[in-house]
């Protein structure tokens, strides 16, 4: 039986195309170079010709690998200046989850529900750390962001959304964990991008939203993790309700 034919209802995988194997080999080679040389975000990579020599690869293979790594934010191409180690952000995750949320009419609301659940789990699971970590200045900043949300007129402009995002970013920032901060913001960004397309990003509950943010601030100020967890539940409950209502209408 030839490789790639079906046997007993299963497809027997054939060998990877040579081009695909070579491309991955060069991608892995660039990543290996970064690791071996202990490069950090913002550090320059060698020139294209130097990478070709170091990896034993052609210019076209190196260019293709750089494009793939740039899409993943592992490297950054600065035209006219060179190639650098990227920010290593979660931008690729945001793009993937956003596209998934917009692509399928059967899965989009489930994606939204999953995102809300993950956001709440993140913050509820770290309740004790989140109420203990901020200093007084950071708590005052959180309160100021709630006031910005009030002044923005119930979310009818960009100011409300920007203040909301800044609030949740600042909430986890005192932990000093970059990965937690990036994941929290990645899920937040996907939700805000996808929600308007699903007709769930309304402002009917803006007063409750603002009040719940204030309740979170008060819990942090009082260093009360139980109240903080309750405030988060109250904060995300209306979001879940709007998703359920939009799903029912469809």
Which CATH architecture best describes the domain 91-249? Up-down Bundle (1.20)
Residue 50: closest CA among 79, 67, 30: 30
**pLDDT tens figures, 79-129:** 888 999 987 766 666 666 666 655 555 566 777 777 788 888 888 889 999
Q: In the chain, what are the domain boundaries? A: 6-85, 91-249
The rounded distance, in Å, linking the Cα atoms of 6 and 190 is: 39
**pLDDT tens figures, 171-230:** 999 999 888 888 888 877 777 776 665 555 455 567 788 899 999 999 999 999 999 999
Residue 83: closest CA among 44, 51, 49, 37: 44
Looking at the domain 6-85, which fold is it? Arc Repressor Mutant, subunit A (1.10.10)
| β-pair partners for 44 | 84
């Amino acid at each position: 039986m030839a490789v790639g034919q079906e046997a007993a209802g299963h497809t027997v995988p054939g060998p990877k195309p040579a081009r695909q194997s070579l491309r991955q080999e060069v991608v892995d080679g660039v990543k290996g170079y970064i690791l071996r040389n202990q490069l950090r975000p913002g550090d320059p990579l060698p020139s294209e010709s130097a990478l070709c020599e170091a990896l034993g690869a052609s210019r076209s293979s190196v260019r293709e690998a750089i494009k793939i790594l740039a899409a993943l934010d592992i490297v950054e191409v600065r035209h006219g200046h060179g190639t650098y180690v990227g920010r290593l952000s979660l931008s690729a995750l945001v793009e993937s989850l956003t596209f998934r949320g917009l692509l399928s009419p059967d899965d989009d609301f489930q994606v939204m529900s999953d995102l809300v659940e993950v956001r709440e789990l993140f913050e509820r699971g770290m309740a004790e750390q989140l109420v203990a970590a901020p200093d007084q200045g950071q708590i005052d900043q959180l309160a100021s962001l709630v006031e910005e949300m009030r002044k923005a007129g119930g979310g009818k402009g960009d100011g409300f959304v920007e203040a909301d995002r800044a609030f949740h970013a600042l909430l986890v920032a005192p932990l000093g964990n970059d990965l937690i901060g990036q994941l929290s913001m990645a899920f937040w960004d996907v939700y805000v991008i996808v929600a308007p397309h699903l007709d769930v990003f309304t402002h009917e509950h803006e007063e409750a939203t603002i009040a719940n943010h204030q309740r979170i601030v008060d819990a942090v100020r009082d260093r009360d993790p139980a109240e903080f967890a309750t405030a988060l539940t109250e904060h995300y409950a209306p979001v879940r309700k709007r998703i359920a209502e939009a799903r029912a209408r469809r």
